[in-house]
Amino acid sequence: MAGSVDPTTTDTSPAEPPPMKRNKFFALANRSSTPRPTPSETEVSLYLNQPCLQEDGDPLGYWKAKQPEFPVLTRLAAKYLAISATSVPVERLFSMAGKLFGPEVQFKR
């Protein structure tokens, strides 16, 4: 057939962008794919490179001194260093509750 187009030889692929645009696109894609560390990640990295506190050192004093350098970690340290390391306060509370509401206490009606 004269004037007909053979569908097997027709190029239906989209035209490639000019090389300059492609290079700009990949340059932007590569630049944005490298993650930048967050301030918290940077702070943790700096902290991990610090020398360890001696065993007889004061952890609260350490974090107070390092607060300007590590503001986020200082808040975390204050939060978790304030947790009691023993269960004595809880045991004391249950003991008092047992004395108040134990079987030897009789309620008057």
Q: Which two tokens stand for residue 101?
A: 């509401």
pLDDT at site 48: 92
Contacts of 59 (CB under 8 A, 6+ apart): 53, 77, 81
Query: What single-letter amino acid sits at 62?
Result: Y
pLDDT tens by residue, 34-92: 677 788 888 999 999 999 989 899 888 999 999 999 999 999 998 888 777 677 777 88
Residue 109 has pLDDT above 90, yes or no: no
pLDDT at site 67: 94
> Distances from the Cα of 57 to the Cαs of 6, 28, 54, 61, 87, in angstroms?
84, 49, 5, 8, 24
Q: At what angle do helices 71-81 and 59-66 cross, to 10 degrees?
A: 160
pLDDT tens by residue, 4-44: 555 555 556 566 655 555 666 666 666 655 677 788 888 99
pLDDT at site 90: 77
pLDDT at site 80: 85
Query: What single-letter amino acid sits at 71?
Result: P
Q: Which two tokens stand for residue 56?
A: 């007889």
Higher-pLDDT residue of 45, 103 = 45
Show the CA angle centred on residue 96, arms to residues 94 and 101, nearest 5°.
90
pLDDT at site 69: 93
The reported pTM is: 0.46
